Chains A and B, each alone.
Chain A
Amino acid sequence: QQQVKQSPQSLIVQKGGISIINCAYENTAFDYFPWYQQFPGKGPALLIAIRPDVSEKKEGRFTISFNKSAKQFSLHIMDSQPGDSATYFCAATRNQGGKLIFGQGTELSVKP
C-alpha cells in the first residue's frame, strides 16, 4: 500500500521529442505528488508537483497528468533537450507533508 511504482526504468528520446514517465500508487490517502530531477553527484531537485484535486499541471516544458480514478500520474517533458538527461523520480506523501515515498527512478537520455 505504501509503494509507488515507476516505469520505464530507462528511456532514450531524440532531441525535440516527448519524454513520458509513468507512476502508479495504491494508497488513496496520498495527497501530494512531486517529481524530482537528479543529476549525477547531486541531490534530487524538485521539478513540479500536483495535488489530487487537479488533473493536470504545466510548468514550461514539464507537465504532470493525474488520473485519480486510475491512481496513476505521469510526467511529460515536451521538446526534450540533451540537458534534460538525468534520473527522474516520482514520489507521493500524505498528511500535509511527512515522508516521501519514491518510485524506483527513470534514467532519461536525450540524444542530440
Chain B
Amino acid sequence: GAGVSQSPSNKVTEKGKDVELRCDPISGHTALYWYRQSLGQGLEFLIYFQGNSAPDKSGLPSDRFSAERTGGSVSTLTIQRTQQEDSAVYLCASSLLAASSYEQYFGPGTRLTVT
C-alpha cells in the first residue's frame, strides 16, 4: 500500500518568505507527527496530532512555526518569515496507534534550504 508522502521534495526559499510543507499520512492512521532533521541537531520532534485531541506542540522551536491537520488526514507545516537556521529536512510520520501498534512510519522528507 501507499506510504507517507510529502511535498515538495525540495524547497529553496529566500530568507523572510513563508513556506508550506505538506504531508499525506498512510490511510487509516490516526496519529501524525512532524520532525526536523539537521546536521547539528539530529532528529527533533516538532508537533504531534492524535485524532481530535489538542496537538502536542511542545517541540515547535518558535512561534514562526505552526501546523494544522485537516479532516484528520493531510497536514501542513507552515514556517513564517524563514531564517537560515530553518534549513533542514522536515520529516512527517504517521502511526495507527492501535492497542499494540506504536510504529511510526516516515515519509521521504522535504529538504528546505533558506538562502
Contact = CB atoms under 8 A, between A and B. Distances in A.
Query: For chain B, what secondary structure do more than half of its interface residues adopt (helix, strand, loop), or is it mixed?
Result: strand
A6 to B, nearest CB: 9
Contacts of A101: 45
Contacts, number: 56
Contacts of A100: 33, 35, 43, 45, 104
A98 interface: yes
Q: How large is the interface on A (under 10, 10 to 19, 20 to 34, 35 or more residues)?
A: 20 to 34
Nearest to A104: B42
Interface of A: 32, 34, 36, 41-46, 49, 89, 91, 93, 96-105
Interface of B: 4, 31, 33, 35, 42-45, 48, 50, 56, 58-59, 91, 93, 95, 97, 102-109
